[in-house]
Amino acid sequence: MRKIRNLLILSLCSFFIISCVREASNNKSNKSAIAVNTSLPTSSTPAKYLASSLSAQSQDSTAMKSGNFVSGEHTTQGTVSITTKDGKLFLELEQSFKTSESGPDLVVSLHRSDNVIGSTKPPSCPLKTGEYIILAHLNKYNGAQIYSIPNNINLADYKSAAIWCRQFNATFGAAKLSS
């Protein structure tokens, strides 16, 4: 009788554990689907990472604004510039740019605040909807990169560039842009 009772308890515990694992797995799948389908503020024109020659781009472009990154949740360093070439706007991360590789969903964004890190609270330095626009996914964690800025963006409305993890609403770093 005691063996049957122990077997029954073991069976119920096993069933409970399997149910919890299955439920957690389903929740994770559902959250992923929601996160993928959730529309965050982005530009109406998709921004593109430009794989063209960075040196040729830099020589022909005119810098309008620039700034140095300040670390938020993770060490982020380097210089960012807003440039124009042939009437088109670009955000350039210079060769000195480097950020942490620990973000699963890092994006490059423009932010309305001139003090993104100072206006948020750790531990996640979260961004608020409507205060930023996403240009593109961060292509690589370090080195020179160029991202196009859609024509419908009024740069006067945006005072900083930021590297932001959408999944955890964590600002890795931000740079105040000044002329």
Examine residue 142 and state whether it is found in any structural domain, yes or no: yes
For 16-26, the pLDDT digits (tens) are 466 544 444 44
Same domain, 29 and 114: no
Report field, pTM of the whole predicted structure over 0.75? no
Same domain, 74 and 158: yes
Cβ-defined contacts of 35-42 (< 8 Å, 24+):
35/166, 35/167, 40/129, 40/134, 40/166, 41/129, 41/130, 41/132, 41/133, 41/134, 42/133, 42/134
Instruction: Say whether pLDDT at 5 is over 60.
Output: yes
Examine residue 43 and state whether it is found in any structural domain, yes or no: no
Same domain, 66 and 151: yes
Q: For residue 175, what are its two tokens? A: 């740079």
pLDDT mean over 19-37: 37
- In eight-state DSSP terms, residue 140 is -
- Which stretch, 21-25, 60-64, 108-112, 122-126, has highest mean pLDDT? 108-112
Same domain, 100 and 167: yes
For 166-175, the pLDDT digits (tens) are 888 888 999 9
Same domain, 29 and 66: no
Same domain, 25 and 104: no
Examine residue 101 and state whether it is found in any structural domain, yes or no: yes
Q: For residue 36, what are its two tokens? A: 């993928």
For 49-96, the pLDDT digits (tens) are 444 334 434 456 688 899 999 998 899 999 999 999 998 999 999 999
pLDDT attached to residue 32 = 31
Examine residue 132 and state whether it is found in any structural domain, yes or no: yes
Say how many C-beta atoms besides its own lie within 10 A of residue 102's C-beta: 13
Identify the CATH number of the domain in which residue 122 sits: 2.60.40
- In eight-state DSSP terms, residue 113 is -
Same domain, 124 and 100: yes
For residues 101 and 125, the model is more confident at: 101
pLDDT band at 113 (very low <50, low <70, confident <90, very high): confident
What's the Cα-to-Cα distance from 97 to each of 26, 30, 75, 145, 172, rounded to whole Å? 38, 35, 11, 9, 12
> How many residues in the chain?
179
Alpha helices, H only, the chain: 2-37, 54-60
Cβ-based burial of 103 (10 A; exposed 0-12, middle 13-18, buried ≥19): buried
As separate numbers, helices (DSSP H) first and strands (DSSP E) second, the chain gives 2, 10
Examine residue 17 and state whether it is found in any structural domain, yes or no: yes
Same domain, 67 and 155: yes
Say how many C-beta atoms besides its own lie within 10 A of residue 61's C-beta: 19
Same domain, 102 and 77: yes
- Which stretch, 7-16, 57-66, 101-110, has highest mean pLDDT? 101-110
Same domain, 89 and 149: yes
Least confident of 39-48, 105-114, 138-147: 39-48
Q: How many domains does the chain have?
A: 2
State which residues form the domain around 8: 1-38
Same domain, 98 and 69: yes
Instruction: Say whether pLDDT at 159 is over 80.
Output: yes
pLDDT attached to residue 66 = 96
